[in-house]
Amino acid sequence: MVRLTHREILASLALFLGAGCSETHAGARPTAARDSCVTYWAPSSIDDSLSIYENGARGPESPVELLRSGGGDRGWVVHTRTDVTGDGVRDLVVRSWYPGSAAICESISITVFEVSAAPVSAWQRESVTSNDCAGPYASLSGLGDWNADHIDDLVAQGFVFVRGASGELAEDTQRCQRGGLLGDVDGDGWRDTGCDVSDAASRGLWIVWGGEQPERTMLSDASGGGFGAAGDVNGDGFDDFITYDQSGTKRLVLGGPDREGLYADETLPASGAAGILAPGDVDGDGFDDLVVTDSAGAALHHGARDFRARKVTSLARIAENGASFTAAGDANCDGFADLLVRQGKTTELHVGSPAGVRTEPTWRTDLTGLVPVFAPAP
Ligand SMILES: [Ca+2]
Ligand SMILES: [Ca+2]
Ligand SMILES: [Ca+2]
Ligand SMILES: [Ca+2]
């Protein structure tokens, strides 16, 4: 059974919607506890390794361990936002791929590292492999509990992988083109999931409501769009999320107890296509914030009781056009959510503060694939 811990409720997810933002996840509310801190993994395309960093007061510190197996010939893609083993702790899902020898086919392997409070060397591995030339698993996302067995599942390139009670990963017959955890939208203590279903019989955007007996509600009968978690931007205790349609228009939907009464509050941003990232509460005021990227640049939209009256802070001094943002969780363990900013071959950590994102980076690395991983909840 997967019940939400307090920390998991606060963990927001993110949305990759085109130029600007990287796929990511995050979320931290100011707290004296270290449980909001993250550990960093740096996938390296140079030496086929995964480096693990631990956090210090200024951010990630020297790598403490290296994994060298399973990276494949073309590197790693790491996904961290789901709990596929059902123990209440998010796991690390790694996709690695290998070029085919004869034709254009590639072999793709998805490996689940079970994350726990135990030393990393104790992690278990599970993997599935595809030799499907037509559809290698080029994307990965967490799905929440798709088949109602209280164990989180995965979506890889439109294929649903369900995790069985005995630990195996198996391909489901249903298609979910894009899916992901939205947080606890209806406030019942169970995580809820969004899914864009492309099957003709059930085409549309669906929400799978977590619970002892999970239910599904269709939000829209139009397929070709998707969801992204937004955290709780208006601080009412119900997680909010973003939907986007086939044209790319994104709308903020505020969570609430009425599953049938959800409505889109506004279009984000008003000017059109953009990336939206949910880093958590960057300024520590108790409202989760959003990083919105559009043609005018990137800005931090500060969460507020009335989100329409929110404050907006430009991030132009932190990143020029072309930079990508990744939620960093609370990398320096001060209770404020932080941002990773990647520009060219450099990744910088910009930490949150009461005024917003600090302009000067506290940490810099030449690793471009850095992926934050949340520490296990206490
Ligand atoms: Ca719920
Ligand atoms: Ca809310
Ligand atoms: Ca805030
Ligand atoms: Ca911080």
295 alpha carbon – ligand 3 mean position (Å): 24
Kindly state the tokens that stand for 31: 């707290």
Query: Does the pLDDT of residue 358 top 90, yes or no?
Result: yes
Question: Stretch 99-127: mean pLDDT, rounded?
Answer: 51
Tell me, what's the pLDDT at 230? 93
Is residue 92 very low, low, confident or very high in pLDDT (cuts 50, 70, 90)?
A: low
Tell me, what's the pLDDT at 361? 93
**For 8-22, 205-219, 228-242, which range has the lowest pLDDT when averaged over its residues?**
8-22
Tens digit of each residue's pLDDT (9 = 90 or more) over 366-375: 776 677 766 4
Among the bound ligands, name the one nearest to the CA of residue 335.
Answer: 4
Q: Name the nearest CA neighbour of 327 among 373, 273, 283, 378.
A: 373
The beta-carbon contacts of 168-175 under 8 Å, at least 24 apart in sequence, are 168/126, 169/84, 169/110, 169/112, 169/126, 169/127, 169/128, 171/128, 172/146, 172/147, 174/146, 174/199, 175/199
Q: Name the nearest CA neighbour of 142 among 128, 156, 124, 125.
A: 156
What is the rounded CA–CA span in Å between residue 68 and residue 82? Answer: 23
Confirm if 3 and 273 have CB atoms less than 8 A apart: no
Query: Does the pLDDT of residue 95 top 50, yes or no?
Result: yes
Q: Name the nearest CA neighbour of 90 among 157, 45, 132, 41.
A: 41
Question: Stretch 50-69: mean pLDDT, rounded?
Answer: 67
What is the rounded CA–CA span in Å between residue 110 and residue 79? Answer: 10
Tell me, what's the pLDDT at 307? 93
In this structure, what are the phi and psi dihedrals at residue 35, rounded to the nearest 5 degrees? -70, -10
Place of tokens 């590197």: 75
What residues have a C-beta under 5 A from ligand 4, the ion?
Answer: 330, 332, 334, 336, 338, 351
With left for phi above 0 and alpha for psi between -120 and 50, is residue 282 left, alpha or beta?
alpha
Is residue 352 very low, low, confident or very high in pLDDT (cuts 50, 70, 90)?
A: very high
Tell me, what's the pLDDT at 1? 35
289 alpha carbon – ligand 3 mean position (Å): 5
Confirm if 12 and 280 have CB atoms less than 8 A apart: yes
Among the bound ligands, name the one nearest to the CA of residue 262.
Answer: 2
304 alpha carbon – ligand 3 mean position (Å): 7
335 alpha carbon – ligand 3 mean position (Å): 12
**Interstrand relation of 76-82 and 275-280 (parallel, antiparallel or unpaired):** unpaired
**For 17-21, 32-36, 91-95, 310-314, which range has the lowest pLDDT when averaged over its residues?**
17-21
Of 269 and 250, which is predicted with more confidence? 250
What is the rounded CA–CA span in Å between residue 344 and residue 176? Answer: 33
37 alpha carbon – ligand 3 mean position (Å): 17
